């Protein structure tokens, strides 16, 4: 299982991650990403990695546990 983190200070609200994995990411009223899940199952890893890589400001990090 992997751990997902977001740097809310870096996030600029592009929403690429929400488009890639709307069950994992959400944009709040402040247009900053929030995590619906932090613990990422192996079955979701590939698409979450793609969402993390799609962030233009590198505000997301997926860590191996």
User: Is pLDDT above 90 for 34?
Assistant: yes
Q: Where are the domains of the chain?
A: 2-64
Q: For residue 65, what pLDDT is reported?
A: 79
CATH architecture of the domain 2-64 equals 2-Layer Sandwich (3.30)
Q: For residue 9, what pLDDT is reported?
A: 96
User: Is pLDDT above 90 for 63?
Assistant: yes
Average pLDDT of the residues in 33-55: 96
Q: Is 31 helix (H, G, I), strand (E, B) or coil?
A: coil
User: Is pLDDT above 90 for 31?
Assistant: yes
pTM: 0.89
For 41, residues 6+ apart whose C-beta sits below 8 A from its C-beta are 1
């Amino acid at each position: 299982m992997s751990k997902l983190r977001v740097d809310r200070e870096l996030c600029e609200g592009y929403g690429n991650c929400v488009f890639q994995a709307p069950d994992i990411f959400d944009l709040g009223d402040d247009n900053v990403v929030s995590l619906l899940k932090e613990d990422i199952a192996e079955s979701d890893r590939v698409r979450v990695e793609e969402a993390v890589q799609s962030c233009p400001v590198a505000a997301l990090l997926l860590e191996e546990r």
